[in-house]
Every structure is written in C-alpha cells, then in structure tokens.
Amino acid sequence: MSLNTGQSLTVSGQDLTKNGSSSSRAPWEDARTVLKPSTPTRKPKPPKPENAITIAVSARVLFTMEKEQQIYEQQGMEDYIKYQVEHETEPFSPGPAFSFVKALEAVNAQLRELYPESEELFDVVLMTNNHANVGLRLINTINHHQLFIERFCMTGGNSPIGYLKAYHANLYLSADPIKVREALEEGIAAATMFTPEKMTEVSETQLRVAFDGDAVLFSDESERIYKAHGLDKFFEHEKAHENKPLDHGPLKCFLEALGKLQKKFYAKGQRMDCPIRTYLVTARSAASSGTRALKTLRSWGLEIDEALFLAGAPKGPMLEKIRPHIFFDDQMFHVEGAAEMGTVACHVPYGIAQRVTKRGIWDKETSSAPK
C-alpha cells in the first residue's frame, strides 16, 4: 500500500500528513497508528457494578443442560459433578437466554463507540448454584461461544438469591420458579424463562424486549378488580381512575434501565436507529382501558416504543411478528401461547393471577437441581 505525498488522513480528529509531516516519527509509525485494527485485541474491562445494568442469568437458561439435569435427578450430585468434569472440554449448546445476551453485547458495542469512557453498559453475571468444579466447563463454553461474561457466582448447592443485591442485579432470569419468587420477594425484577420447542430467529443488532402491562410493568390493582367484579366493572374503574397512575409492577425498574440507555442513543440523534426497542403487549382494550396504561408510563417519565392493545386476543401471533429476544407476562396461558409460536417467553409470578389460575405444566416448584 502507498500513500501519495501530501495525502491527509484524520485519526481521532487530528490530521496526519504523510511524507511531509513535521512529526519527528518515521512515516511508517504514523501509518501503523492510522491502520491499527478497529476491533480491540483485548476484551474491554467490565464496568463497575454500581454503574452497569446488571443482568443475572442462570446456567440452565443461558445454555442447554437437559442431559446433565437428568443425570443429577436420576443419579445424584456426585455423578453429576463427575460427568461435568469428564466433559468439561465439550461446550454446552445455546439455551433460551443466549440470543438475549448476545443482543446485550451488541448494544454495548454501539454504546462504547458513542461513549468510550462511559460505564453505563449491560453487564451479565452467571448466577448458578452449581458446584465450583463445574466452573471450568462453563468458562470453556463461554469462551467457545465468544461471550463476554466475566462475573460468576457459583454457590455449590446453596441458593444464589442472597448475592443478587451484592451484584446490583437489575434483572434475574432462571429456570427455577422458586428462585424467581425468592428474588421478587427481595424486590429484584425476576422471571422464569422457558425454552420453546422452536425458536424464532431474532435480530443480531437490535435488542427487542416485550412486556405485558398489569402485574408486570404495573401493579395488579386493575387485574384484581377484573377478577373480583368482571369486565364491566374493570372498564368503569379504569375510566374513573384514568388520570391516577397505576402503582409500579415488578419489572418497571428494568424498563427504566432500558430507557436510560435508550436516551443515550437519542442524545446522539439515533432515536430512529436506536438498538434497543421496547414493546407493551397487553390484553387491555385501547379505547376502554388503554388511556390509563399510557398515562401511567408518561407519569413515570418512561417511553414505550410500540404499544399493542389486543382486547383479549392471543398474544402469540403478534409476538411472532415482533420477534422479541424476550417477552414477560404474569399469566402462563400467554407464556405458553408465545412459546408455541417460537418466542422466548418468561413468567413473572406476581399478582392475583398466581392465586386464581391453575398452574401450567411448566410452573413446577419441585426442582432443586443446579440452576
């Protein structure tokens, strides 16, 4: 490659003139500066937990560990650990949270380009009650899939929930509904994640997160009215209280965290090209009860990119069109319907619906296996 005499290139806002530069450095030294690789040769440092948006994921949702789970349940812990050690060079295949985590990393890459010194980034922590002897296989798997996960919490059979606040977790995803309920009781946004038989392809450059409204972003106040008095009373209640914001639900804080990062892109003129997109997918009717939901979000200073009011229609077809990386709902009926159509769906076990509906086949509280 040759550079013409007097050719000017710009590096980090500075003009460098070749073969006529007043710099005391040799021309090839300047060329090395200009042509240095755009991809860093070393992984970036993880942000400080107090500055990051921390997503805690269990090993069983990040990776597929069904065979290992069966060994644990049928043969016990010792055989389970022995098998993991013997196969520690064999990486696990991706689980339902894998695409979500990859999307978080894609957003981080764009944030680092816009704000090189900022630590307001996503940080993923692997939270598992696996024994530390399994750690090497997990590390090998993370490196195999080129994931950027530096923080681990391996509790050797004890519940990892007590560590979530120490890690400043903004969201906890697990395959164990008991652990999820424990996290919610600690005031941490949490959901039980399920693996659909088929998984819809999702965007590799834009993180898409879909939320139900009542008992997820909002409290279950209105849902209680509906369960106790029926649909007509529900509509009357919402009309009478449309200017009174709903109380917050368990995942409001996660939507706030997403909104905080979205605004960083908006500040750089990237509202329409923002790599984070949020959706409200609710069974509410727009004209009859949608006003209160939207006014509540506005009163919180939060925006939702798209709002879909379905008036009781199934959510699965709409989610198939949206193709979110993750969808949160408090009712297993909607979680199952979404999963049947390929959406990675999460159950938020919060509110009145948990006490009046029959448990779905996934909502079992009997497993104590490593998560």
Would you give the distance in Å from CA 271 to the centre of its chain? 20
Which residues lie across from 15 on neighbouring strands?
10
Question: Looking at the annotation, which residues are catalytic?
Answer: 212
Reading the block at residue 8, the tokens are 């000017």
CB 92 within 8 A of CB 141: yes
Distance CA 49, CA 121 (A): 10
Task: Calculate ∠ Cα 44-46-50, nearest 5°.
Answer: 150
Task: Calculate ∠ Cα 56-112-302, nearest 5°.
Answer: 60
